[in-house]
């Protein structure tokens, strides 16, 4: 009897997988590159293209690799696209003489990427560096943004606490703290970002920081990262503009945040309440890269968030 039941379950699972593929609903992730303004941009893409689209913008020092588990969790009902910025992940690393590494330029390149991919409306998932890049996209094209999902990504001074003091010194004097910040791009600094604030560090695969070191150790990459550290001060000048966008457009917003993050503490998450009349906030007992320990729970909140607003059910023809 048990063998027959097991066979039935296996047959049903096989049929569902076949049916999904047959009707163009494959959940497999594809790994592609797209030339954007002469730069080869690597990206991951999964899920049915007629499903709600999520553009996943990664943080520092990682890449689209940080979204691998989330993509697997959501690809049955979402269309997910996760690019690597220039000099990150598997994207090309143009020389600073060719490409000026500023957040303005990264955002412009991502805007062109979005247009080449034909995305006219999408949900925007922003994390760390993805926040200043994503908010530039949102304020320039608010009509394209269907929702915001914010994970440890700042838009308020309240979220910039003790971690930022050495970086503020670097902003004031390009030589001050440059050595310490350069060391931050090495093994220990990269590993620390993954395990700090995590209750059980054995749950974090070393593949994460080793994958990051693949691009961080490319010749010339340290100088590029220092340039972005220095340019980060220009993001703060845009906070009032981003906050005005939130107040005016009131985008449907879900915040899923590692509350033990020393880089972007929970005060940065709670600050969004200043401008958003309705915002859903979930804090998790983990660190900066919350997806490494809570991908399943966070994916569940995203799915629930889309259903509660009737958006996902409408797209799927459900009531």
Question: What are the structure tokens assigned to 206, written together?
Answer: 């070393």
CA triplet 73, 79, 85: central angle to 5 degrees?
90
Q: In this predicted structure, what is the pLDDT of residue 126?
A: 98
* 3-state SS assignment for residue 154: coil
pLDDT tens digit at each of 319 positions of the chain: 434 433 443 334 333 443 444 344 567 999 999 999 999 999 999 999 999 999 999 999 999 999 999 999 999 999 999 999 999 999 999 999 999 999 999 999 999 999 999 999 999 999 999 999 999 999 999 999 999 999 999 999 999 999 999 999 999 988 878 888 888 899 999 999 999 999 999 999 999 999 999 999 999 999 999 999 999 999 999 999 999 999 999 999 999 999 999 999 999 999 999 999 999 999 999 999 999 999 999 999 999 999 987 666 565 554 3
CATH architecture label of 27-161+235-315: 3-Layer(aba) Sandwich (3.40)
Domain map (residue ranges) of the chain: 27-161+235-315
Q: In this predicted structure, what is the pLDDT of residue 311?
A: 64
**What is each CA distance from 158 to 58, 91, 268, in whole angstroms?**
22, 33, 6
Backbone phi, psi, residue 92, to 5°: -65, 150
Q: Kindly report, residue by residue over 69-116, the tens digit of the pLDDT.
A: 999 999 999 999 999 999 999 999 999 999 999 999 999 999 999 999
- Tell me the C-alpha distance between 243 and 247, whole Å: 6
Q: Kindly report, residue by residue over 23-64, the tens digit of the pLDDT.
A: 445 679 999 999 999 999 999 999 999 999 999 999 999 999
CB 89 within 8 A of CB 20: no
Q: In this predicted structure, what is the pLDDT of residue 183?
A: 87
- Tell me the C-alpha distance between 163 and 144, whole Å: 34
- Per the DSSP assignment, residues forming a β-bridge with 217 are none
Backbone phi, psi, residue 187, to 5°: -60, -55
- Tell me the C-alpha distance between 64 and 109, whole Å: 16
What is the pTM (predicted TM-score) of this model? Answer: 0.90
Q: Give 203's contacts (C-beta < 8 A, 6+ positions apart).
A: 292, 293
To which H or E segment does residue 148 belong?
strand 145-151
288 among known catalytic residues = yes
Q: In this predicted structure, what is the pLDDT of residue 257?
A: 98
DSSP 141: -
Query: Active site residue: 215, 282, 288, 294, which one?
Result: 288
- Tell me the C-alpha distance between 161 and 260, whole Å: 13
Q: In this predicted structure, what is the pLDDT of residue 309?
A: 76
């Amino acid at each position: 009897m048990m063998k027959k039941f097991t066979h039935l379950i296996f047959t049903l699972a096989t049929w569902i997988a076949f049916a999904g593929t047959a009707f163009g609903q494959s959940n497999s992730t594809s790994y592609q590159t797209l030339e954007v303004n002469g730069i080869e941009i690597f990206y991951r893409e999964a899920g049915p293209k007629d499903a709600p689209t999520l553009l996943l913008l990664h943080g520092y020092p990682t890449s689209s690799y940080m979204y691998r588990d989330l993509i697997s969790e959501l690809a049955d009902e979402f269309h997910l696209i996760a690019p690597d910025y220039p000099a990150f992940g598997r994207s090309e690393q143009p020389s600073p003489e060719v490409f000026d590494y500023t957040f303005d330029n990264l955002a412009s390149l991502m805007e062109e990427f979005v247009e080449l991919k034909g995305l006219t409306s999408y949900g925007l998932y922003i994390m760390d560096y993805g926040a200043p890049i994503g908010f530039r996209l949102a304020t320039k094209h608010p009509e394209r943004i269907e929702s915001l999902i914010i994970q440890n990504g700042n838009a308020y001074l309240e979220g910039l606490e003790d971690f930022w003091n050495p970086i503020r010194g670097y902003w004031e004097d390009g030589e001050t703290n440059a050595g310490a910040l350069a060391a931050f791009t090495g093994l220990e600094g990269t590993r620390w970002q993954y395990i700090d604030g995590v209750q059980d560090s054995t749950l974090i695969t070393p593949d994460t920081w080793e994958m990051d070191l693949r691009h961080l150790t490319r010749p010339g990459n340290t100088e590029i990262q220092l340039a972005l550290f220095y340019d980060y001060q220009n993001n703060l000048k845009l906070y009032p503009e981003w906050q005005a966008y939130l107040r005016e457009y009131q985008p449907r917003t879900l915040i899923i945040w590692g509350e033990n993050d020393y880089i972007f503490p929970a005060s940065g998450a709670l600050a969004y309440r200043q401008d958003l009349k309705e915002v859903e906030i979930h804090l998790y007992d983990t660190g900066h890269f919350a997806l490494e320990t809570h991908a399943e729970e966070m994916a569940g909140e995203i799915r629930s968030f889309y259903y509660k607003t009737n958006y996902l059910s409408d797209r799927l023809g459900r009531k």
